């Protein structure tokens, strides 16, 4: 994002199939009733009451509130500063066992805050789970409030409204806010988020200075505000579809969705991971009718991964049939992590950061059913990787519709911390994959020597070759060629946010074809006959050379089966231009950091 100047504003076993049928009927499934396919091959020696290590703080309602608050404050002080913590090594998680707490948790960089109940209301926070723009260097804006999360709690805000003033990679999930939700800084400064899912807000959710926002499968008392691109799917209380004036795009349901896998404590004090069922044409929080349908897996079937563990040992656990639970920390990988068994869950808390060394890819997921990857940050190493994460095999079209792979809160970074290089960040070959809340970011700022046109090199953020892939909440920024390339049939995207690269040196080095200036941000392959997307925004800020332009932000085949809705382009501070919105349609980006809007194409 431009951080300096902005305008206001995815063949089940029989037992699992039975659970799926219960879920389809809208019935909650008791966690203990559900056996797990993953892990039965022989994952042994793991504990149901594991040691999560020093970076995970587990709180119990019997603990003095002052003791809890002191730990929260200590962690925030270490993780709050944009200048020192944004690319620092700190990683932390705050986990609250069921009960009631009177605390105020300011959530800093690389911090996950989550309840350990089966449902949000099992943890009652009388106080705040909050983010604001706290640092003088931010000048009151929230443009760099990244990499933090809140999940699975009920909050009764101390002042009537909880504040979650964030930009990218800061999910707010499975929350029950008993009051209002403010998505803007207290200063009303710039913000460029964001993502809410499976959440209930009894009062008003107000975006105010948020430039774009996506809300999925939620229930709001009401909604107020929006600058360029506010998108809602399956959300009661959302405003009517009115793009571009006001700039709100509303779908009554979400085509395909699945709530995230999450850690909880059962009545015996043992840890388990709940795995929600797939929903089609969903509306409202998955837990709203008494519990989220799905199944659960005991922690004895998870390898708890800690900083210092080798890639070889992690792969050995995967081969033995274990799921993975990554604790907060930084993980250097000298070999690719290979997820080959169906129904494997790979779950991270506290932004565990996977860095591939020596040019290896960080992770490969085989073309199998039901793999879930959630809560990981893939950070490119200094030798080029072909891809940071690859799902499935190219050209293999096996249906996974009944039990898809899901990638959720999975983030990618090329540069910023080190001079990373990766040709692609995410490659999706498996059919029916759910891509739910991804930020793929080629850094535009960071530590000295980590950012530059020939320094942190990266072609494409997302490459989709699978059919029937659905993306909900897709953020892709600053890659050097096409930001997204979608070659699979029948793809769907609900909400897309993009910025083109800031540092293009000259037009001659950034033309996608002879006579075609620049690269589209979102390219649907020429052979695609069915594709649909809603709420798509692309911005340019060619700061190195404002004479640079892109012919269009969206490039699609011209046939009746490829349809785009609610599109816009913006030239930030009028640094360069985008001539058309999609293909040859739509006006050039105007001066004054104002959008060029196109309600539908064709």
Q: What CA–CA distance (Å, rounded) separates 478 from 451?
A: 11
Q: Which two tokens stand for residue 150?
A: 């809140």
Element (H, E) at 34: none
Which residue from 315, 376, 324, 330 is spatially nearest to 346, judged by alpha carbons?
324
CA dihedral 196→197→198→203, nearest 10 degrees, is: 20
Q: Is 362 exposed, middle or buried (0-12, 13-18, 19+ CB in 10 A)?
A: buried
Q: What CA–CA distance (Å, rounded) separates 537 from 249?
A: 12
Residue 499 is a catalytic residue: yes
Q: Is 455 exposed, middle or buried (0-12, 13-18, 19+ CB in 10 A)?
A: middle
Contact, 562 vs 531, CB < 8 A? yes
Give the number of C-alpha atoms closer than 13 A to the C-alpha of residue 307, restricted to the C-beta side.
17
Output the DSSP codes for 205-227: EEEETBSEEEEES-EEEEEEE-S
Contacts of residue 436, defined as CB under 8 A and 6 or more positions apart, other chains included, come to 10, 197, 216, 257, 258, 260, 406, 407, 408, 409, 471, 472, 473
Instruction: Please state the φ and ψ torsions of residue 483, each to the nearest 5 degrees.
Output: -70, -45
Contact, 188 vs 163, CB < 8 A? no
Given 151, 248, 477, 499, the catalytic residue: 499
Contact, 470 vs 435, CB < 8 A? yes
Q: What CA–CA distance (Å, rounded) separates 38 from 321?
A: 6
Q: What CA–CA distance (Å, rounded) separates 427 from 13?
A: 28
Q: Which two tokens stand for residue 144?
A: 């760099």
Contacts of residue 306, defined as CB under 8 A and 6 or more positions apart, other chains included, come to 53, 327, 329
- Per-residue three-class SS string for 311-373: HHHHHHHHHCCCEEEECCCEEEECCCEEECCCCCEEEECCCCEEEECCCCCCEEECCCCCCEE
The reply to whether omega before 246 is within 30° of 0 (cis) is yes
DSSP state of 37: S
Instruction: Please state the φ and ψ torsions of residue 408, each to the nearest 5 degrees.
Output: -140, 135
Reading phi first (left if > 0) and then psi (alpha if -120 to 50, else beta), residue 576 is in: left
Catalytic residue IDs = 499
């Amino acid at each position: 994002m431009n951080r300096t100047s902005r305008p206001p504003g995815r063949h089940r076993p029989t037992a699992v199939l039975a659970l799926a049928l219960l879920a389809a009927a809208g019935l909650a499934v008791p966690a203990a009733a559900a056996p797990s396919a993953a892990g039965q091959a022989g994952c042994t020696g793991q504990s149901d009451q594991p040691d999560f290590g020093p970076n995970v703080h587990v709180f119990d309602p019997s603990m003095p509130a002052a003791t809890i608050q002191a730990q929260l404050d200590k962690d925030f002080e270490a993780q709050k500063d944009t200048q020192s913590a944004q690319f620092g090594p700190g990683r932390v998680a705050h986990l609250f066992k069921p009960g009631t707490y009177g605390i105020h948790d300011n959530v800093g960089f690389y911090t996950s805050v989550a309840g350990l109940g089966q449902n949000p209301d099992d943890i009652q926070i009388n106080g705040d789970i909050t983010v604001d723009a706290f640092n003088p260097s931010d000048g009151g804006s929230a443009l760099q409030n990244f990499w933090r999360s809140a999940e699975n709690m009920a909050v009764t805000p101390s002042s009537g409204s909880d504040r979650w003033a964030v930009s990218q990679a800061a999910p707010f999930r499975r929350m029950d806010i008993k009051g209002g939700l403010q998505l803007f800084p207290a200063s009303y400064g710039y913000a460029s988020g964001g993502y809410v899912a499976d959440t209930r807000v009894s009062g008003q959710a107000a975006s105010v200075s948020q430039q774009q926002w996506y809300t999925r499968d939620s229930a709001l008392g009401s909604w107020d505000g929006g600058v360029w691109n506010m998108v809602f799917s399956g959300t009661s209380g959302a405003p009517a579809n009115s793009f571009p004036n006001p700039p709100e795009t509303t779908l009554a349901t979400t085509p395909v969705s699945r709530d995230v896998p999450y850690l909880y404590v059962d009545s015996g004090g043992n840890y388990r991971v709940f795995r929600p069922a797939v929903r089609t044409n969903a509306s409202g929080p998955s837990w709203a009718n008494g519990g989220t349908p799905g199944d659960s897996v005991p922690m004895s079937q998870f390898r708890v991964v800690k900083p210092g563990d080798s890639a070889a040992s992690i792969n050995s656990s995967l081969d033995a049939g274990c799921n993975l639970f990554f604790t907060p920390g930084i993980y250097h990988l000298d070999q690719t992590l290979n997820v080959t068994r169906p129904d494997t869950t790979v779950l991270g808390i506290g932004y565990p950061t996977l860095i591939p060394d020596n040019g290896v890819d960080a992770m490969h997921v085989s073309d199998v059913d039901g793999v879930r990857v959630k809560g990981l940050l893939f950070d490119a190493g200094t030798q080029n990787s072909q891809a940071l994460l690859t799902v499935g095999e190219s050209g293999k079209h096996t249906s996974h519709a009944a039990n898809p792979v899901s990638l959720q809160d999975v983030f990618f970074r090329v540069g910023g911390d080190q001079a990373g290089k990766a040709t692609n960040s995410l490659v999706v070959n498996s059919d029916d994959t759910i891509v739910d809340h991804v930020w793929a970011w080629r850094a535009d700022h960071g530590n000295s020597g980590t950012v530059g046109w020939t320094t942190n090199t990266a072609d494409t953020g997302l490459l989709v070759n699978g059919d029937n892939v659905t993306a909900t909440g897709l953020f892709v920024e600053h890659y050097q060629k096409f930001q997204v390339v979608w070659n699979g049939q029948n793809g769907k995207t609900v909400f897309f946010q993009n910025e083109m690269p800031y540092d293009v040196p000259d037009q001659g080095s950034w033309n996608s074809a002879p006579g075609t200036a620049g690269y589209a941000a979102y390219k649907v392959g020429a052979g695609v006959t069915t594709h649909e997307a809603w709420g798509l925004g692309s911005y340019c800020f060619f700061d190195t050379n404002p004479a640079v332009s892109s012919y269009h932000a969206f490039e699609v085949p011209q046939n009746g089966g490829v349809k785009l809705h609610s599109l816009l382009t913006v030239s930030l501070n009028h640094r360069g231009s985008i001539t058309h919105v999609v293909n040859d349609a739509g006006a050039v980006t105007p001066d004054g950091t104002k959008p060029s809007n196109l309600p539908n194409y064709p």
